[in-house]
Structure 1
Amino acid sequence: MTHSARLANSHFGEWEIYVVTDGPTLGWPACDFRRTQPIPTLAERTAALADLGYEAAAGAVWEWMEMDNGDTGDVALLAAFDVHPIREAS
């Protein structure tokens, strides 16, 4: 099953990554990078997802979106990436 992993600025401007699942919003797997800068590297994002039990889906690429809060508000960045649960060795 494929899910969407999202990298976003939290309400405090710190980077966090979470996986959107079928469960309730408060139950989504998440990792907080506890910093505002720099943006987490690909290696950091991959490690955080592995810690949450997920890996990249075949052919997945990060897609970045800019979300504005009006003409004078701060801009928030959001990136999305398809993932699936890590398969356990048989």
Structure 2
Amino acid sequence: MKEYTAQMSNWAGRWRLYVVLLGGLVFQWPEHDFGPGPTVPTVEERSRALTALGFVVTDGAEWEWIEYSETHEDDTSPVRLLATIQVCSRDGGQP
């Protein structure tokens, strides 16, 4: 079963979840917008969004959070958060 990386980030006050499809164009990646809001979507909300996109979390996978600067190598730059998790297609095939 082929695995993919799902990522979730916040930009301009909106949490967005997308599945990275290597070799595909970014605008073609499956994506879910949680809408505006200051709170991080729950694990259940993320799971429902992935299911709606045709994916499920792989067995044993957990969300991992990465912190990075908005402007590379600028310690005064705002910090952004990126969450990642391994997923696979719900039906086991290609998305």
TM-score (norm 2): 0.85
Deviations 1:4-61 (CA, angstroms, capped at 9, x unpaired): 0001012x13100000013211100000111231100000000000000000011111
Q: Which runs of 5+ in 1 are unaligned?
A: none
Aligned residues: 87
Deviations 1:54-89 (CA, angstroms, capped at 9, x unpaired): 00011111110001132222111000000000028x
Q: Which runs of 5+ in 2 are unaligned?
A: none
Q: CA RMSD in A?
A: 1.3
Question: 1:82: which partner in 2?
Answer: 86
Question: 1:52: which partner in 2?
Answer: 53
TM-score (norm 1): 0.89
Task: Tell me the distance in 2 between the aligned counterparts of 1:66 and 1:25.
Answer: 21
Question: 2:30: which partner in 1?
Answer: 29
Structure 1 consecutive aligned stretches of length 4 or more whose deviation exceeds 6 Å: none
SS of alignment partner, residue 39 of structure 1: coil
